[in-house]
Chains A and B, each alone.
Chain A
Amino acid sequence: MKYVDEYRDPVAARRLAGAIRALVTRPWTIMEICGGQTHSLLRHGIDQMLPEGVTLLHGPGCPVCVTAAEVIDQAIALAATPGVILCSFGDMLRVPGETGSLLAAKARGADVRMVYSPLDAVALARAQPEREVVFLAVGFETTAPASAMAVLAAADAGLRNFSLLVAHVLVPPAIAALLAAPDNRVQGFLAAGHVCTVMGYDEYEPIARRFGVPIVVTGFEPVDLLQGILACLRQLEARRAEVENAYGRSVRLGGNAPAQAALRQVFAVVPRVWRGMGEIPASGLDLAPAYARFDARARFPSAVAAPASVGPCISGEILRGRSRPTACPAFGTGCTPARPLGATMVSSEGACAAYYRYRRAAA
Chain B
Amino acid sequence: MCLAVPGQVLAIAGDDPLTRSARVAFGGIVKQVALAFAPEACVGDYVLVHAGVAIAVLDAEEAARTLACLATLEEEAE
Interface residues of A (CB under 8 A from B): 1-4, 6, 12, 15-16, 18-19, 22, 34-36, 61-64, 89, 91, 116-120, 138-140, 142-143, 145-146, 149, 152-153, 156, 192, 194-195, 197-198, 220, 223, 227, 246, 248-252, 256, 258-259, 262
Contacts and interface: CB of A to CB of B under 8 A. Distances in A.
Given A89-B1, A227-B66, 15 more contacts: A1-B6, A2-B8, A3-B6, A117-B34, A139-B1, A143-B1, A149-B36, A149-B53, A153-B19, A156-B18, A194-B2, A197-B4, A246-B66, A248-B59, A248-B63
Contacts of B70: 12, 15-16, 223, 227
Contacts of A197: 4, 48, 55-56
A200 to B, nearest CB: 11
B39 A258 contact: yes
B76 A19 contact: yes
Which 6 interchain pairs have the tightest Cβ spacing?
A: A117-B52, A248-B62, A249-B63, A146-B51, A259-B37, A3-B6
Nearest to B7: A1
* B52, B59, B65: most-surrounded residue (chain A CB, <10 A): B52
A2 B70 CA distance: 17
Chain B, interface residues (CB within 8 Å), range: 35 or more
A250 B52 contact: no
What does DSSP make chain B's interface, helix, strand, loop or mixed?
mixed
Contacts of A64: 1
Contact of B37 (A4, A34, A149): A149
B36 A35 contact: no
Contacts of B38: 256
A62 B56 contact: no
A63 B50 CA distance: 14
A149 B18 contact: yes
B63 A3 contact: yes
Given A149-B34, A258-B37, A249 B66 contact: yes
